[in-house]
Amino acid sequence: MDEVVTIATPGDEEGLTVELEQTLPEEEGEAEEQQIGVSEEGQDESLEEVDRLHELFSVTGKKSPIVQTITYKSSVPWLKGRSAWLCDYATHYQTSRHFIARSLNGKPDYEKQDVANGDRFNVLNPDLDIKFHLLVDLETCRMWFSYQEGESDKRHLLKTYKVGIGRPDEHSSSGYLTPIGKYSLGDRVATFKPRRYALHQGERKEMIQVFGTRWIPFNEEIEGCSEPAKGFGIHGLPLVKNEDGVIKENLDSICKYESDGCIRLTTTDIEELFAVIITKPTVIELVKGVQGMNLKSEMYE
């Protein structure tokens, strides 16, 4: 299984050019709901691909009920003695800097975090008890991302994703290197850039070539877990160096069974998921088949 260890300080290694084969939208807009139209045996072809993530980040138009729009002021009553930076807003509103940056920039740009008085951005509503839930079907390589409020069991679907899964394993009760069961996600998350190295499986490697740009670990077993949580996680596609010295993500590995047990997402998908969930309690539930689970019921409205 994949495992993260202490990150080494970059040395004098030559940096690599990163080229992601993803087209990012210029700004947040209305997303379409499309039929999956997949014919795998046993899959409900009426299930829809859903993307409501733009409602979390957009400061105009339709907004999710779990966010509120903030107008930035450098002087705030909840911080004394100095001006408030974006990171201070992130801490105060229990919302990641990445989330605020995407809302502030109006597009999936998580690095540019410049802010000026009068700028507007969304944060997760601090008055709501928000929890996130990830449902992963090992048989169809699909993931449903939803939220819950307080003690309610009702889940509200935010987005569906296509994911990569662990290799088949006849000795595993799940049938794959990826386990089944419910796990909490941990807070020892990581972001990776070129020239960041660490030991992985006893070998010093550049982390983006193992985990892509983001890592979110499983934390604790909750229910029905076939394996301990340690070592498993969600991360981006490995970025592999080609003969020209450019590293690219292999999009062909999505919806495939090729990992050491972790859940893989495209760079675009893992970066947006990371931005949303890392400051709130999140459970990942891994199942073999969603037959009998009415994903279009009121639980996922």
Residues 31-81: pLDDT tens digits? 443 333 333 444 454 467 999 999 999 999 899 999 999 999 999 999 999
Which of 298, 276, 292 minimizes the C-alpha distance to 101?
276
Is the same domain home to 139 and 105?
A: no
Structure-model confidence comparison of residues 162 and 294, the more confident one = 162
Which of 240, 280, 285 minimizes the C-alpha distance to 96?
280
Is the same domain home to 151 and 247?
A: yes
Domain count, the chain: 2
Is the same domain home to 146 and 103?
A: no
Give 102-137 as a DSSP string.
HHHHTSS--S-----TT-EEEEE-TTS-EEEEEEEE
Q: Is residue 293 part of a domain?
A: no
Report the C-alpha gap between 69 and 105 in whole angstroms.
Answer: 14
Looking at residue 65, its pLDDT comes to 96
Is the same domain home to 159 and 261?
A: yes
Is the same domain home to 279 and 136?
A: yes
Report the C-alpha gap between 139 and 141 in whole angstroms.
Answer: 6
Is the same domain home to 97 and 173?
A: no
Is the same domain home to 173 and 202?
A: yes
Q: Is residue 292 part of a domain?
A: no
Is the same domain home to 115 and 133?
A: no
CATH number, residue 133? 2.40.440.10
Average pLDDT score, the chain? 85
Range of the structural domain that residue 86 is part of = 67-124
In tens, the pLDDT along 95-118 reads 999 999 999 999 999 999 999 999
- Residue where one domain finishes, among candidates 75, 94, 124: 124
Is the same domain home to 168 and 265?
A: yes
Looking at residue 222, its pLDDT comes to 98
Residues 6+ apart with CB under 8 A from 136: 142, 143, 163, 165, 178, 263, 284, 285, 286, 287
Is the same domain home to 84 and 135?
A: no
In tens, the pLDDT along 198-233 reads 877 888 888 998 999 999 999 999 999 999 999 999
Q: Is the dihedral of CA 270, 280, 290, 136 positive or negative?
A: positive
Is the same domain home to 106 and 82?
A: yes
Is the same domain home to 217 and 79?
A: no
